């Protein structure tokens, strides 16, 4: 029995590992090499199983009870993906990496919906949410600052237009007043 970081993901890797461990075959000629997590999901183990490899029920993975050196069925029906949907030979378990991918910190399968990957305790989760809260506040502050800058840039343009409009209205009013006085003066002169 050997503890490993990852299990084989294809037949070639599996055969290489079986040769390295010098695994034999069961009474039906099946290679007895298997790689799977322990029941606590603290590590992955490569073993040469001393028994008949047999068939694994659909909707299940296998775990190793390290103390008893026995294989235990584990339901994977609620996994997000990767759970065997049909009966498979135990020797083909390497084709279902979801059954061999665990989070050793949280002691769960990565594909379990309840597995909070990378977080072992409540303090870690609170730190995680605190980081998102700080990022959210910073983004909101940047948006507000940009809105203020854009608003202020538009204001001088509006202020500049108002005096021009006021000047234009003043000039028009002055021209009317001049025109009235001129016409009144001209009328008075000729009468």
pTM over 0.75: no
Q: Are residues 37 and 94 in the same domain?
A: yes
Query: 120-165: per-residue pLDDT in tens?
Result: 444 444 556 778 888 888 888 888 888 888 887 776 555 555 566 6
Q: Are residues 170 and 131 in the same domain?
A: yes
Q: Are 100 and 36 in contact (CB under 8 A)?
A: yes
**Average pLDDT for residues 34-46, to the nearest whole number?**
91
Q: Are 40 and 63 in contact (CB under 8 A)?
A: no
| Chosen domain end from 94, 120, 146 | 120
Range of the domain at 187: 121-191
Question: CB under 8 Å, gap of 24 or more: what pairs does 57-62 form?
Answer: 57/87, 58/84, 58/85, 58/86, 58/87, 58/88, 59/83, 59/84, 59/85, 60/84, 61/36, 61/93, 61/96, 61/98, 61/99, 61/100, 61/109, 62/34, 62/36, 62/90, 62/93, 62/99
Query: 69-98: per-residue pLDDT in tens?
Result: 788 999 999 988 889 999 988 888 889 989
Q: Are residues 125 and 176 in the same domain?
A: yes
| Chosen domain end from 104, 120, 136 | 120
């Amino acid at each position: 029995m050997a503890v490993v970081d990852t299990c084989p993901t294809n037949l070639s890797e599996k055969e290489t590992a079986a040769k390295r461990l010098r695994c034999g075959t069961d009474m039906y000629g099946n290679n007895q090499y298997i790689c799977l997590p322990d029941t606590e999901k603290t590590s992955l183990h490569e073993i040469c199983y001393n028994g008949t490899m047999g068939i694994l029920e659909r909707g299940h993975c296998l775990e190793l009870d390290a103390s008893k050196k026995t294989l235990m069925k584990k339901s994977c029906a609620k996994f997000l993906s990767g759970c065997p949907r049909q009966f498979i030979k135990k020797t083909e378990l390497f084709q279902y990496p979801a059954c061999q991918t665990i989070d050793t910190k949280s002691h769960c399968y990565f594909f379990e919906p309840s597995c909070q990957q990378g977080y072992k305790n409540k303090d870690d989760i609170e730190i995680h949410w605190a980081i998102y809260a700080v990022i959210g506040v910073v983004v909101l502050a940047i948006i507000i600052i940009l809105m203020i800058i854009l608003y202020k840039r538009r204001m001088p343009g509006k202020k500049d237009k108002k005096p021009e409009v006021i000047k234009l209205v003043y000039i028009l009013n002055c021209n009317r007043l001049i025109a009235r006085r001129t016409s009144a003066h001209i009328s008075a002169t000729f009468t």
